[in-house]
Structure 1
Amino acid sequence: MNWNGNDKVFRTYFHGKKKQDKEKVRCVPAEKVKDQEGHTFEEVRDDGFFGAVLNPGYIDISFDTKEMSDAMFDILDSQSLHCLELSNPKNGHIHTYWKKPKDWKYKDGEDITLACGLIADIHSGSTFIPLCIDGAKRFPPEYDETDENGDYDEVPKFLYPVNTNKKFWHMRAGEGRNSDLHGYILVLWTQLQMSKDEVRRMYKEIINPYILAEPLDERELDTIMRDDSFQSIENDEVVPIESFYDGRTFLTDVFSDYMIEHAHVCKISGRLHVYENGIYVYGKDKLYHRMLKYDRRMKRNNKAEVYEFLWSEAPEIDGGMKPQYVAFENGIYDIINDCMMPFSPEFIITNKIPWNYNPTAYCESTDKMLDNVSCHDKDIRYLLEQFIGYCMFRSNVYQKAVILVGSGANGKSAMLRTIQAMLGTENFSTLDINALNDRFSTSLMYEKLANIGDDISDEFLHGNQVATFKKVVTGDRIKAEDKGVEPYEFNPYAKLIFSCNDMPRIRDRSGAVKRRLIMIPFNAKFSPDDKDYDPHIEDKVQTRESIEYLIRISLNAFRDVIKENKFHESSATNETLKSYDTENNPIIGFVTELDEGVHPDDPWKALIGQPVRVTYDKYIHYCDSSGIHRMTISTFSKQLSLLYGIKSSVSIIDGKSHRVYTKEKQ
């Protein structure tokens, strides 16, 4: 073939000269190249050393090994690409020439990793490209294809440079290629904005047959390229990176507006959130990750500027958080209407349960566990199910906390761990009841579905501890603080669940805490000597099958709470709470002891006609002997009035006037 150069690719040609480089003979220009007119191909073609300079709109992508050159040649042929290819007859290394794309922003260089996994040198501009070295000519071309208009292709995406540590060239089975190819999808999208179809085609038609040492079988390749591998590629969105810059100047407002529109950045409870995998998540790290996902070139100061802009401009959307919607791995479940819906940023949800919602799930082990820990009391079991369902409801509107009460080996801890497994580690905190108001502890309940404290302390609770407990249970606004961050306020929706052997005493003169407590007795005793003892029961009830069943029955039970606007009543829990009230309230305990069982249903009758001073002295003795803090006589009398409707009035005893207790008129 008689080749006369290629004026479409090459601007001009230059005489060269020999340069000995170690054992390698090189061709370097024998005259000034930059901005020079040079010569025609005919004027240099008979030289032993000569080369060319590319036209401004063209790029040279070359390969310095015979193996990669052969792979590239096979790719050109299999894909029917339109380019010029010239090869070195001595070593088989090839150069490929392409039109420069409009979005090309890459610098020339050597040993550059390309998207398909090949390693190449890239040259453009006034670089001198040898065409003949010591008489060895790199022409005529073995491959020179143009389209129907006589044009060459722009550089295809699979030959774009990427910044990655992945090494796919001749990677073999057992070297992590499946996981690397899976993770590489996000690299291709964030850096090159490659669509799902482009990635799939490159994996199937280029990387698998020509780059890997041994091709993956079709089943493996399909697994890597399954739809959920592309969840990070949002609707094949192509990010308009160039619009974020004016020349080299980063446009903070343009990029920030793009984040608000496409990443759905917003403020919830005064904190910046971004929509990710079906829910809204908070944290500066989450926002920075999304920024880099859109533009890998962002500098540290750019990210800081965007964050400040978002802080001032992102919309506040607290009002749109409807607690009836629960996010699961397979979509959004509507508790009230008992239906599933696809993920959408319109659902303002900040927690995802890490399991599927399965309306037909069943697990015998879960049934057995719930029956056993509730001692086959259907009321207790149903109440447990209702409260577990309540944990997935992002509101504390029903104003109840649960305490599992009972001593040793009764399933309390196993029950709590199962609830934790259901909720997922991101969705619960583990504060003790006496730590709820600690300075840096309150923030741990932010956007948590539950606070689950196992084997809590029996220390006396009073003051701010009790106040914070009541606020969390009712969902009232509380103040939180993280180290090094300005304090903030939020409305908690974490359900308080505790377990204990002995209940802590709580200062509760108004009865507000008592009204908010559900005390569930755990009276079972599990022993290896039991006929049906199963040492592996906890593992069995934390399987996918078991958790999905627990989710189903708990949400069904909680739906009744919504309908009836209250939790199920249980005589056993009511008795447990009544017994605790007697132990916790020194007034009730004192009056019950004073009555000595004469009036079991109305122990206050023992006070009628008793002198106030004498009764108070007996109360002091009761407190001192029980280690209980005393009330003043006026507070003592107020509590009697509040609890029993008893007041003091003047009465004549032995000819003297005394204040005695009488029943208030109804």
Structure 2
Amino acid sequence: MSDVDLVEEMHDTLEANDEDPMTLLDHREWPYILAEWYDSDEFEDKKKYQKVVNYINWRLVDMRRDDFDDQIESVVAEIQDDEDSQSIHEMSSSEFFREFTWNDMPDRQIAYFCHLWCKENAQIVFSNGRIFVYDGDIWVNEPKRVAKILQGLLRAHYGKHVKEEFLDGYVSVNDAYQVDWNEMGIGGPRCVVENGILNLVEGEIERETRPDDYALIRFPVRWEGMDAERDRWSNEFLDRSVNDGDLQKLQEFAGYCLHTHNYPYKKALMMLGDGNNGKGVFEDVITAAIGPDNVMNYGLRDLSGANFGLQRLQNTAVNINSDIEGNEITRTSAFKKLTGRDRFKVEPKYETPFEIENAAKLMFAANRIPDVDTDDLAFYSRWIFVEFPHRFTTRDDDGYFDADPHIAETIIEDELSGVLAWMVEGYQELCEQDHFTGEMEPEEVRTEWSHLSDPTVTFIRNFVTDGHPGEEGDPLEGRMTVSTLYQLYQRYMATTPVSPVSKQKLARSITNRFEAETVSERRGPDNDDVARVWDGVFIPHNKREEIRELRTESL
């Protein structure tokens, strides 16, 4: 609360109590605030005091104006008597403790003296309804640090009520602590790392941080230059996990997470692929590079409500979530606000509500794309898809890539500076082209979303045709076998991040759409071989070629 708001609050209180000046004098903090204004050499402070006393019609109350001023002067004298040996702000914490007789002093006076010391010596600010303390590099929202400062000043005389008097009566209302939220957070294409402020465009450390940078986020990685070692990260993990086209998008979005002050590109990342395909390794390594304290793991449902947990978004770099509730997105309007530079209301439990504009980047992972019931193109325009198409296992000769169960741990231990350099490179590429690689039009995203939500249905709709090969002039000899059609289906599904359904389930889906069935057919020169074939459907030659081309492109 600013001093202007405080004057108005005093006015409202007087109005509600028949302008009785005792409501001001009996308040736990206001006599000391009024005394500070009364005794100040600043014109604006004296103006505030005069405005408050002018709210009172002195002819209609029991107290005379002179008597009220005398009461305030006595508070001034009380404070000055305790300050006569040395100005409070010039004392060390030990001198401050020894200077006063604390036993008989009321909590509100103790809080006032703490305020006089802290406003010059303790690095505390109040912004957007929250208290921040400087930790040497960044400002952290940890009110317990304020308690430690007061404990250092008061020792055994510290108590909960003193802290409340200090926070409510001074930190939250006094101009000495107020910082506009727009000034909080390091601006521009910069971030804080272990060894200073990193310029993301230049790829160089600018300098060490200062309190007036008002930085809120520090990444727990040392900057070692753009050439920092990342061989295992790039060659042994990324190149084996993600195809080239998607890898560029993934790198750009990872770099985007380093831009913590705002949300200039209205995009969220959706990583897709069945289990054991590298998504978890990617999340673990990126979380380590950004720092667990700078990462949230909320689902869209949690991010959609104005609950107290959303306040963490104010100093969070990225929200990474791997569990979309019910595999369904229902609150699309909230998602658009979070990615669209809109302000929204946060209602912390037991605290004053406030508004924020989200800067935390949103990253989601799913085995298959979640269901969504909307045609809103603004929703679809927000998404970037990255597929993790390969499966990794520790079993030999099972047809899958060999997994290294310790690769995330090794990369985090040995190559985190290299991962940071890889992210910075992605950020630079994003800024240079001013958009993400391979951005699709919203209509294309909607089509792709529908396709990915159930690729089996898409396969049947786009490739399976009713009829018989011979009747349609197809070079296929005889009816298409169940195994051949299923193999084509498997090839197609290998181009998506979703595992194929069983042969039996595919057959049921086909018979639900077409008047077709599987039957036994004798084959071979002597008709001594029996095969299950499709009677009523097949995949035409040109469609078979299309599937082969899709599979080749995916590789």
Q: Give the letter aligned to residue 362 of structure 1.
A: E
Quick one: which of 312, 334, 352 aligns to 1:486? 352
Q: Which residue of 2 aligns with 1:267?
A: 126
Q: 1:349/1:507 Cα in 2 relative to 1: closer, same or farther (>3 Å)?
A: farther
Partners of 2:127 and 2:188 lie apart in 1 by 14
Q: Which residue of 2 aligns with 1:303?
A: 163
Matches within 5 A, 1:459-608: 459-462=327-330, 465-528=331-394, 529=396, 533-543=403-413, 545-569=414-438, 578-581=447-450
Quick one: which of 77, 96, 99 aligns to 1:242? 96
Instruction: List runs of 5+ in structure 2 lacking aligned partners.
Output: 1-90, 467-511, 514-555
| Bigger shift: residues 303-312 or 379-388 | 379-388
Q: 1:575/1:481 Cα in 2 relative to 1: closer, same or farther (>3 Å)?
A: same
Quick one: which of 232, 236, 242 aligns to 1:374? 242
Percent sequence identity over aligned pairs: 21
- Post-superposition Cα deviations, 1:537-557, rounded to whole Å, max 9, x if no partner, equal 1211221x3111111110122
Partners of 1:257 and 1:510 lie apart in 2 by 55
Q: Give the letter aligned to residue 304 of structure 1.
A: E
Q: Which residue of 2 aligns with 1:454?
A: 322
Answer yes or no: is the 8 Å Cα contact 1:402–1:517 preserved in 2: yes
Partners of 1:457 and 1:281 lie apart in 2 by 31
Q: Which residue of 2 aligns with 1:291?
A: 150
Partners of 1:511 and 1:350 lie apart in 2 by 34
Q: Which residue of 1 aligns with 2:220?
A: 354
Q: Which residue of 1 aligns with 2:203?
A: 338
Answer yes or no: is the 8 Å Cα contact 2:393–2:403 preserved in 1: yes
Answer yes or no: is the 8 Å Cα contact 2:127–2:181 preserved in 1: yes
Partners of 1:290 and 1:329 lie apart in 2 by 25
Q: Does 1:416 align with 2:275?
A: no
Q: 1:289/1:263 Cα in 2 relative to 1: closer, same or farther (>3 Å)?
A: same
- Alpha-carbon shift at residue 408 of structure 1 (Å): 2.0
Partners of 1:575 and 1:453 lie apart in 2 by 25
Partners of 1:255 and 1:513 lie apart in 2 by 51
Q: Give the letter aligned to residue 558 of structure 1.
A: Y
Q: Which residue of 1 aligns with 2:232?
A: 365
Which has more helix, going by share of residues?
A: 2
- TM-score norm. by structure 1 comes to 0.48
Q: Give the letter aligned to residue 536 of structure 1.
A: H
| Bigger shift: residues 481-490 or 511-520 | 481-490
Q: Give the letter aligned to residue 180 of structure 2.
A: I
- Alpha-carbon shift at residue 582 of structure 1 (Å): 5.2
Instruction: List runs of 5+ in structure 1 lacking aligned partners.
Output: 1-236, 598-624, 627-666
Partners of 1:538 and 1:288 lie apart in 2 by 39
Answer yes or no: is the 8 Å Cα contact 1:520–1:576 preserved in 2: no
CA RMSD, 1 decimal = 3.5
- Post-superposition Cα deviations, 1:330-365, rounded to whole Å, max 9, x if no partner, equal 222122343321121121211111221221421221
Q: Does 1:318 align with 2:187?
A: no
- Post-superposition Cα deviations, 1:95-143, rounded to whole Å, max 9, x if no partner, equal xxxxxxxxxxxxxxxxxxxxxxxxxxxxxxxxxxxxxxxxxxxxxxxxx
The answer to which structure, 1 or 2, has the higher relative contact order (CA under 8 A, 6+ apart) is 2
Partners of 1:238 and 1:266 lie apart in 2 by 21
Answer yes or no: is the 8 Å Cα contact 2:131–2:141 preserved in 1: yes
Q: Give the letter aligned to residue 403 of structure 1.
A: M
Partners of 2:430 and 2:133 lie apart in 1 by 32
Matches within 5 A, 1:161-310: 238-239=92-93, 241-242=95-96, 247-248=101-102, 249=105, 250-300=109-159, 301-308=161-168, 309-310=170-171
- Alpha-carbon shift at residue 254 of structure 1 (Å): 4.3
- Post-superposition Cα deviations, 1:475-520, rounded to whole Å, max 9, x if no partner, equal 3222223333333322221111111112122233331111110011
Partners of 1:492 and 1:244 lie apart in 2 by 46
Partners of 2:421 and 2:127 lie apart in 1 by 29
Q: 1:388/1:294 Cα in 2 relative to 1: closer, same or farther (>3 Å)?
A: farther
- TM-score norm. by structure 2 comes to 0.57
